[in-house]
A and B are shown apart, each in its own frame.
Chain A
Amino acid sequence: DAKTTQPNSMESNEEEPVHLPCNHSTISGTDYIHWYRQLPSQGPEYVIHGLTSNVNNRMASLAIAEDRKSSTLILHRATLRDAAVYYCILRRGGSEKLVFGKGTKLTVNP
């Protein structure tokens, strides 16, 4: 499985934008980039996914580098409820697996 690299932790202030980076230099052409987040003591929650083009939804935006070796999850205005561990995951063609790394723990300061 292709590997992703994320910072262990990041901090943000409430109502400011947050850019969460993810490196995936060994990504293959059929790998989709998925982002999930997990609040304390809860199951993960789907955030967004993409293949090549940037994507937007009501929760966040996903910016994918042209060479696809990195991506950035953008929370446009962080709230206290966005404090969570964010996982960047590559889902390979034909694989059932979502391979979770340790993710980035986001702290949002009031």
Chain B
Amino acid sequence: DGGITQSPKYLFRKEGQNVTLSCEQNLNHDAMYWYRQDPGQGLRLIYYSQIVNDFQKGDIAEGYSVSREKKESFPLTVTSAQKNPTAFYLCASSKTRQLTYEQYFGPGTRLTVT
């Protein structure tokens, strides 16, 4: 089945460690996105990528890094510089950056840092 996979579903880390969240899509979509969601809040954009080897910062990029070496994959690294990393992280993709194309979301990774 076509879709977006994120792994793992739950992730626990100690403070001061970097952690990488996986996002893979087999929809042949050009654009991919990372969002963060805190309890009771909407989603906020961290990074997005429209094509391979290119990505742009979203609204809250500080403390995060990404790479886009393959069309299907857009991993997110939460670095130790991110002050409040505990959150629900969602990856999404869309066919192109055009306004009318909907974004498809993965099931999310819930990261807890203690």
Name A's B-contacting residues (CB within 8 A).
Answer: 30, 32, 34, 41-46, 49, 87, 91, 93, 96-103
Given contacts A96-B50, A103-B42, contact A34 B102 (CB under 8 A): yes
Q: Which of A43, A93, A97 contacts B58 (CB 8 A)?
A: A97
The answer, among A43, A87, A97, for a CB contact under 8 Å with B107, is A43
Does B42 contact A100, Cβ atoms closer than 8 Å?
A: yes
Note all chain B residues with C-beta closer than 8 A to A87: 42
Q: A44-B90, A97-B58 are in contact. Are A32 and B100 (CB under 8 A)?
A: yes
Report A-chain residues with C-beta under 8 Å of the C-beta of B44: 100
Q: What residues of chain B have their CB less than 8 Å away from a CB belonging to chain A?
A: 4, 31, 33, 35, 40-45, 48, 50, 56, 58-59, 90, 92, 97, 99-100, 102-108, 110
Starting from the known contacts A96-B48, A98-B45, 11 additional A-B residue pairs (CB-CB under 8 Å) come to: A34-B102, A43-B92, A43-B105, A43-B108, A44-B105, A45-B105, A46-B104, A96-B50, A96-B58, A100-B43, A101-B42
Does the CB pair B31–A96 fall under 8 Å? yes
Which of A41, A97, A103 makes the CB contact (< 8 A) with B59?
A: A97
Q: How far is the CA of A100 from the CA of B58 in the complex (A)?
A: 13
Question: Which B residues are CB-close (under 8 A) to A101?
Answer: 42
Which A residues are CB-close (under 8 A) to B42? 87, 99-103
Question: In the complex, what distance in Å separates the CA atom of A93 from the CA atom of B56?
Answer: 17
